[in-house]
Chains A and B, each alone.
Chain A
Amino acid sequence: MATDNSDPTAEYRRNQSWLYDSKTGGYVRKTAIGLLTLVIGVFVLFPLYWMVATAFKTTAEIQQIPPTVFPENPSFEGFRLVIESSIQAGGYAGLVNDLLGITVTSAIDINLLALIVNSLKVAVGAGLIAVILGTGASYVLSRREFRGKNLLMSLLLASLMFPGTAIMVPEWELISTLGLFNTHLALILIYGAMTAPFVVWLMKGFFDDFPDSIIEASQIDQCTPFETFWYVLVPMARNSLIASFIFAFLLAWNELVFALTLLDNSKFTVPPGLLTFVQGFNTQWNVVAAASIIVSIPVLAGLAYIQRYFVQGLTGGAIKG
């Protein structure tokens, strides 16, 4: 097809465009994509940065107008106050005085460690409930045919669309009737129930793609249904189970409204606990920020370790069973 006097490669160039097939075009594309990524990155990460920056500022600098982007006189004042408060509220002041000879007195009376322990208790409990109930339910919904199955799935999906606060009042009544007011069990049950439907949908994707022949092979290998579930399905579902657990865990870890209404000061989890640092005009924002950083550390460390499975688990059903 090439005309006789032209470059023989011209024919291959007919479909070329400057943006995609020239070197400069490539640089332009990469720069544009890079800039866009940067803008989105700043948009997403700036609040986190602001929290960290605030934690290292003094109260005076925080109230300065215009605000400073970098702490001018980095100080650990916020962290010191949080730790002192925790030591005092936790009843360790005497111990610290005896051991280190430091007298700890604090105007704030909040034990961060207790908050973290409370939150862990609630979040692990809720995670376990959601994973155990959700996995069992999704296994049945995926493997058995029965009337009303689609309705049930739709109901579970619909329950995810309700904001939690919409069912605040009935939940409150329910918890009162059960006599569980101001107990962590109340929160475990509520968070577990809130996240289980999501776990059902996530795990159903996994079980739908699960090859029948492996289950049949285990039956031929003389497994009871429970043994099949325990030795074959659960190990293979590990990533999805971890993803489900993390989802439920994070929701419980971050939930504020139920925790604030159903518990009192003595049993607070992290979110309402942090809120007590906020005290009207008197709020020491560097303390709030420092406390926030400290409470995120255990979760961040855990997630960093486990996030590989989390991503695999979430995409597992979609890409390969």
Chain B
Amino acid sequence: MTHLELDSVKKVFGDPEKEGVVAVNDLDIDVPDGDFLVLLGPSGCGKTTTLRMIGGLEDPTEGEVRFDGTVVNDVKARNRDVAMVFQDFALYPHMTVRENLGFGLRRENNDMTDAEINERVTEVAEMLEIEELLNNKPAQLSGGQKQRVALGRAIIREPRLFLFDEPLANLDAKLRKTMRTEIDELQSEVGITSAYVTHNQEEAMTIADKIAILDDGELQQLGTPDQVFNEPANLFVAQFVGSPDMNLFEGALSERTDSYRIEMDVASFDIPKRLVDTEIDTQDVLVGFRPQDLYQARTRATDGPDFETQVRVVEPVGTEAIVHGTSALGDVTAKVGRFHDLEPDDQMELTIAPEHIYLFDPTTESLLKGRLVTERAEGGASADSVEA
């Protein structure tokens, strides 16, 4: 039960005065008690370093890590009372599952008798359905079983914080989804504040209460899954979150009395001012369409732009298909229904509702207009249906 804060945390590897590599720069994150924070970003963005600083495995070069308001910078990992699940699970190979699970409890100063420890081990093993494996060595376990043991080793102690370092990266796709749900369930059940590192945006969206998106050591956005999807702080977040990738086109913007007029190569359209929160004072904009928000004009009419697209590839994913096409605007990716009659080289007409359109400033790359959820028509896309 811990309120975790990172205050202007900076980590430089090597000599800070000379050619040190800045892994994390000026990071502020506040995680309320019991929340599930996901640190999301591409490889090398500093997310694992951040997690290790929370766990006490790295010392911050500057800034403060606080647990419940207490600065823990100089508290060693073993005294922070955190539990961590490692990417490679890091089970002790010379110990049985039972010994692996009980090891932390035995090392702790807790006056537990052997019988009590054993009871707790059995309890956790039952919860994770690994009670038949208690006498096996890690080498005899499958990936998913190892994962469960690693999880068990973390939850057995009821620590202040759970830290997960890409715990699902070494599992196959199906197991990854099951374990993801289990971790989520488990965390809600025990209610312990957690930090979870992943580069997989789908994993992040499904599991997180709050997502911190990092790039190149800098925090890009801290928000709920809905926020980062619908109101990405900048172009990086918009492109990193959501799959397939967002379509981006250049456009010119001019102001009308109660709307903004966007001129693109083949299509022009108006966005009513009530849909835009910010003052826009730039002439050039980047226009973003989520593939999920594009519809075929023959199935639905919108107030937004229509444009002709020549189909290149159709990738069916069950009831919908991801269609890659070429339009006068450039390459377009759309996720559409009613795709069975679509063949390569066919023409289709795509359209998008104005409230779903993203606008970015091309120079600062910051968001001018996000996707409005409230005005969303039926079903369509939401953060829940984002797929990898």
Point out residues on A near B: beta carbons under 8 Å: 211, 213-214, 216-224, 227, 231-232, 235-236, 238
Contact = CB atoms under 8 A, between A and B. Distances in A.
Given A213-B88, A221-B153, 6 more contacts: A216-B57, A217-B84, A220-B84, A221-B104, A222-B108, A235-B94
30 contacts: A213-B87, A214-B90, A214-B91, A214-B92, A216-B84, A216-B90, A217-B90, A217-B92, A217-B153, A218-B92, A219-B56, A219-B57, A219-B77, A220-B55, A220-B57, A220-B77, A220-B83, A220-B104, A221-B78, A221-B104, A222-B104, A222-B108, A223-B78, A224-B78, A231-B103, A231-B107, A232-B92, A235-B94, A236-B93, A238-B94
A71 B107 CA distance: 64
Contact of A211 (B77, B78, B90): B90
B76 interface: yes
Contacts of B86: 213, 216-217
B82 interface: yes
Nearest to B92: A232
Contacts of A238: 94
A125 B103 CA distance: 33
Contacts of B78: 219-224
Q: Please report whether the interface of chain A is mostly helix, strand, loop or mixed according to DSSP.
A: helix
Contact of B107 (A211, A214, A222, A235): A222
A231 to B, nearest CB: 7
Contact of B103 (A211, A221, A224): A221
A238 B103 CA distance: 19
Candidate in A211, A221, A223 with the most chain B CB atoms within 10 angstroms? A221
A175 B342 CA distance: 93
A160 B84 CA distance: 43
Most buried by B among A213, A222, A224: A222
A213 B55 CA distance: 13
Nearest to A221: B104
A218 B86 CA distance: 12
A85 to B, nearest CB: 47
Given A213-B86, A236-B94, A219 B103 contact: no
B295 to A, nearest CB: 47
A219 to B, nearest CB: 4
A227 B81 CA distance: 17
B387 to A, nearest CB: 30
A216 B84 CA distance: 9
Nearest to A236: B94
Nearest to B159: A220
Nearest to B163: A220
B123 to A, nearest CB: 18
